[in-house]
Structure 1
């Protein structure tokens, strides 16, 4: 297997851990005419993110690797940034989500490629599932603002 793949998976995990808190932040601080719609959707998104975190960590463990499992390590490793504890408009929330989902699509595609190069079809399949979910979510968010 590929150390580069494991490192990328752990970075993905750290970013997802930061993303989980970012989604909670948006869930709590979103304001505006789309509050009810976004508040509920953000709850679904952070629930999904918690599932991704667990699945990626368990996949790393199954491969004999050590997942990032504390917030300080996640923050030190993460390339995505938290957001401040301030209100955010509905429109800004959707735009931020679109930007973030585009990031997740690119990051997920890279892991699929690394997994395929390493001959790890199980990991490639796992991340292809995430990729399909992110592509669908991007389509839905872009349709929401069109």
Structure 2
């Protein structure tokens, strides 16, 4: 089996790069959705949600950079055009969303998709002993599961 300079199998690394580029595309759409939500949110929860959406898009911007750098570390080229992102994303584009519940629902749906993609990558990176990608995916998943829980708690009706 041929390995790259990291000691990882070349063929599997190339496949993982494709998966990571898919994740990168989804994150770019997620990021842009969060920016739009941040700018367009209205209503009595404006102040809290405006700040929360900024926190989430700043976090996703860091993750975007980490994913792109991992693609480079594995010997690939990160996707970097909006047309590539749109073509390779599974996320719904949130256009002109200004209502709180609709905004949170979009984020929850996006997180669900991101978690599914990350788990596929986690399984593949684990199978090839790629601890760098494995660790990154584990961290992403743990954070997003907590965010998912908090946003779902926010969506519950007050008693």
TM-score, with length taken from structure 1: 0.93
Runs of 4+ in 1 over 4 A off after TM superposition: none
Q: 1:81 is matched with which residue: 70, 74, 92?
A: 92
Q: Matches of residues 119-134 of structure 1 in structure 2 within 5 Å?
A: 119-134=129-144
Task: Give deviations 1:29-79, integer Å, cap 9, x for gaps.
Answer: 112221111110000111011101100101111111110012222222222
Q: Helix, strand or coil: the match of 2:121?
A: helix
Partner of 2:6: none
Q: 1:12 is matched with which residue: 17, 23, 48?
A: 23
Q: 1:115 is matched with which residue: 113, 125, 142?
A: 125
Contiguous gaps of at least 5 residues in structure 2: 1-8
Tell me if structure 1 keeps the 8 A contact 2:24–2:64: yes
- Residues of 2 paired with 1:107 and 1:121: CA distance? 17
Name the stretch that deviates more: 75-84 or 35-44: 75-84
Q: Helix, strand or coil: the match of 1:69?
A: coil
- Residues of 2 paired with 1:50 and 1:122: CA distance? 19
Q: Matches of residues 27-106 of structure 1 in structure 2 within 5 Å?
A: 27-84=38-95, 86-106=96-116
Q: Which of structures 1 and 2 has the bigger CA Rg? A: 2
Tell me if structure 2 keeps the 8 A contact 1:115–1:123: yes
Contiguous gaps of at least 5 residues in structure 1: none
How large is the Cα RMSD of the aligned pairs? 1.3
Tell me if structure 1 keeps the 8 A contact 2:26–2:114: no
Q: Helix, strand or coil: the match of 1:66?
A: coil
Number of paired residues? 145
